[in-house]
Amino acid sequence: MEDNPKHQGQRRQLVDILLEKGIENTQVLEALREVPRHWFMDPSLAEWAYVDKAYPIAAEQTISQPYTVAYQTELLELQPGAKVLEIGTGSGYQSAVLLHLGMQLFTIERQQELYKNTKRLFSKLGLRPKKMIFGDGYKGLPEKAPFDGIIVTAAAPELPKDLLGQLAIGGRLVIPIGTQEQFMFRYTRRSQTQFDREKLGAFRFVPMLEDKN
């Protein structure tokens, strides 16, 4: 797929904006500089791919704004080879950033249309998560736990407790929580029973879907 010098220049400008907004992790910034966001968007929106905004994708979902992707990824504080669970594959852009950083990625998508589209795109781009699952992210992926990091890309009305139990000791869960008002939270597992909880900035996400069955 095409990635021309114009796109590359736009990504460099985007990274400058992310630096100004407070993203500091050089590996994360490098990933945002290298991963072509326009590959994960509708071609009709491609000219806006490097504007720091969210845009619609299929199934009434959105591709997160680059700042949000960078911010959540930075909060994970992980090294290459870390085992990561992503709840909400969506367009696949966040997944691509994590894969560029060398993560062992397990990713779950609840919307079948997105799951099929993004799985097809991953194959086309040669992106290889450890596992891509169509299912209910609220429950996590206990059979593959523990994870060094869990990242949730849609807003949960409350903390899904199952996800905390799937963190390795020292692992981090990064998740937006709330309905009308949403805040980013980071939970760090200190022991079998102890977790640190940090409430961070306000954000806007699409709601996380839960299978009630």
- Residue 62 and residue 125: Cα distance in Å, rounded? 20
State the DSSP H helix or E strand holding residue 195, giving kind and residue range, or none if neither.
strand 195-203
State how far the Cα of 210 lies from the Cα of 35, in Å rounded to an integer: 30
Domain topology for 5-203: Rossmann fold (3.40.50)
Q: Domain locations in the chain?
A: 5-203
Q: What is the largest CA-CA distance in the chain?
A: 50
Helix or strand run (H / E) with residue 129: none
pTM: 0.94
Q: From the candidates 44, 64, 91, 191, give the one annotated as an active-site residue.
A: 64
Residue given tokens 């560029």 in the structure block = 100
**What CA–CA distance (Å, rounded) separates 41 from 25?**
25
Residues of the chain with pLDDT under 70: 209-213
Q: Return the pLDDT at 211.
A: 52
Look up residue 164 and give its amino acid: L
Counting every residue written for the chain, the total comes to 213
Any catalytic annotation for residue 191? no
